[in-house]
Amino acid sequence: MKIYVPMDSAAKALGADEVAAKLAQEIAARGIEAEIVRNGTRGMIWLEPLVEIEKDGERLAYGPISEGDVAALLDGRIETLGKVEDIPFFARQTRLTFARCGLTDPLSLRDYETHGGLEGLKRATGMSQDAIIDEVKLSGLRGRGGAGFPTGIKWDTVRLAHAPQKYIVCNADEGDSGTFADRMIMEGDPFTLIEGMAIAGLGCGATKGYVYTRSEYPDAVAVMRRAIEIARGAGVLGANVLGSGKTFDMEVRVGAGAYVCGEETSLLNSLEGKRGTVRAKPPLPALEGFLGRPTVVNNVISLATVPVIFAKGAAHYANFGLGRSKGTMPIQIAGNVKQGGLFETAFGMPLGTLVNEIAGGTATGRPIKAVQVGGPLGAYLHPDQFDTPFGYEEFDGQKALIGHAGIVVFDDSADMLSMARFAMEFCAVESCGKCTPCRIGAVRGVETLDRIAEGDVNAIPLLTDLCEVMVDGSLCALGGFTPYPVMSALRHFPEDFAPKSARKEAAE
């Protein structure tokens, strides 16, 4: 018998370690022959700690399980949820990037290979750099960190650059509110990120990689470091990648924590040991990046998706999706919802289906008022926009963005003027200070929103003007996109920007 208890941070925060310890104790006391496997999470956070028991070839789920439930669980007195694959939230997914997450022991390379791991890298070792890049271009993969830039084109720029050293940098800063896909895959299936980075290295002619992550992710850091050691020991990394004669090695670096350090040039400064301020572009990091050398900077999910593209073929991947949004997206559902977690699906599912059916509506049971998609720089969408299919262009058409695909749901008790103020305040606090529209603009934005809150309606056109200046004049998307949440709140919820006296009357 095998008993799976996730070692993912979200599951641990909900008591998974205590459940695992109690299970070990009970198993020993009862003399049961059972192995406890610490797997990644299956992504259904409202069911964590989700314990799975595998017996006679059948793997059944139970959750949420507390330490106090362990005896009853072993007695068979707890009702099963059935197979994870049959739970509707899971059954409706298309798991390509997250296919193994939660299924395997994250630190078992054997488990990884048994479930299709390393097939992509094996294939890539026999391909030319051109062919590797063409495969990525053909897959239609676009950056999952926010900007949606075609990954193959970025890799090609690095491949074509002449330099004695090139780098692959994985952006694992994951600063967006309501997002956790990067952490989840690093903790739940770290070899897939390693494999993706190795393929990127082979394709671009880069021999060294870095995973830049945040100090708030100690578990992900530990798992990644251990997985890199294991991969190196097995010849997946090092001077002779899978016996190909090609070199690729990597390490993890931890940042001190600043939202702007997720911006690629700021990240590179931080990686070089400098203050995390944004660099002006050009030069592009692809030409002059880490230590002035050609550098691919890609998000965790972009890189972790590369192995399945090579294992199953670019056409297979590109078959999923909608328009220019090819493949799948691991959507992270958070905020005021009944069922929060990670939901990987082909692009194209309407936002309303995601929040009403998949997330099951609000946890409070009150009507949904707004959904913020794409982190703190993402727009607030109104229920009138729920028909919008989840896709880069489709969201752009709504003056919104999908970003890193974090969805945060708010019920009708949310005050959108306060949310707009929070967006400006966040920008003011996190601004790197390099350009005036953001450094000064965000502070003036907070003041202007306070004037609106005091009933000064003349401040509304001022806010609109200020947002225009921030969009047009900011050096990076922190200042440039903060107007998205602010203006969407104003556009869709004008009643929340009315003078206090009018709001009070309306409420009475």
Ligand X SMILES: Cc1cc2nc3c(=O)[nH]c(=O)nc-3n(C[C@H](O)[C@H](O)[C@H](O)COP(=O)(O)O)c2cc1C
Which backbone phi and psi does 76 adopt, to 5 degrees? 80, 25
Judged by CB under 6 A, which stretch of 63-71, 256-264, 345-353, 447-455 contacts ligand X? 256-264
Instruction: Give min distance, CB of 441 to ligand SF4, in A.
Output: 9
Give residues 448-507 in contact with ligand SF4 (rule: CB under 6 A).
474-476, 478-479
Contact (Cβ atoms closer than 8 angstroms) between residue 383 and residue 352:
yes
**314-to-136, 168, 412 alpha-carbon distances in Å:** 7, 21, 43
**DSSP-assigned states of every residue in 181-223:** HHHHHHHH-HHHHHHHHHHHHHHHT--EEEEEEETT-HHHHHH
109 near ligand SF4 (CB under 6 A):
no
CA-based radius of gyration for the chain: 24
429 near ligand X (CB under 6 A):
no
Q: How far apart are CA 486 and CA 496, in angstroms?
A: 12
153 near ligand X (CB under 6 A):
no
Q: Which does 147 bind (CB under 5 to 8 A by kind): ligand X, ligand SF4, none?
A: ligand X
269 near ligand SF4 (CB under 6 A):
no
- Cβ-Cβ contacts under 8 Å for 40 (sequence gap 6 or more): 6, 7, 8, 101, 102, 104, 106, 184, 187, 188, 189
435 near ligand SF4 (CB under 6 A):
yes
Q: 258: phi > 0 → left, psi -120 to 50 → alpha, else beta; which?
A: beta
Among 297, 311, 414, 452, interactor with ligand X by CB under 6 A: 297
Kindly write out the interface string for residues 205-244 of this chain, putting x where it contacts ligand SF4 by CB under 6 A and - elsewhere.
----------------------------------------
Closer Cβ to ligand SF4, 346 or 428, answer by number = 428
Closer Cβ to ligand SF4, 279 or 326, answer by number = 279
Closer Cβ to ligand X, 74 or 132, answer by number = 132
Contact (Cβ atoms closer than 8 angstroms) between residue 255 and residue 212:
yes
Strands 406-411 and 58-62, by their bridges, are: unpaired
133 near ligand SF4 (CB under 6 A):
no
Half-sphere exposure of 446 toward its Cβ, with a 13 Å CA cutoff? 13
20 near ligand X (CB under 6 A):
no
Contact (Cβ atoms closer than 8 angstroms) between residue 205 and residue 248:
no
**Core vs surface per residue 122-139: b (16+ CB within 10 A) or e:** bbbbebebeebbbbbbbb
Give residues 110-149 in contact with ligand X (rule: CB under 6 A).
143-147, 149
Secondary element (H or E) of residue 125: helix 119-125
Q: Which does 171 bind (CB under 5 to 8 A by kind): ligand SF4, ligand X, none?
A: ligand X
262 near ligand X (CB under 6 A):
yes
Q: Which does 299 bind (CB under 5 to 8 A by kind): ligand SF4, ligand X, none?
A: ligand X
175 near ligand X (CB under 6 A):
yes
* Chain positions contacting ligand X, by CB under 6 A: 143-147, 149, 171, 173-175, 259-260, 262-264, 297-299, 302, 476-478
* Chain positions contacting ligand SF4, by CB under 6 A: 260, 278, 431-435, 438-439, 474-476, 478-479
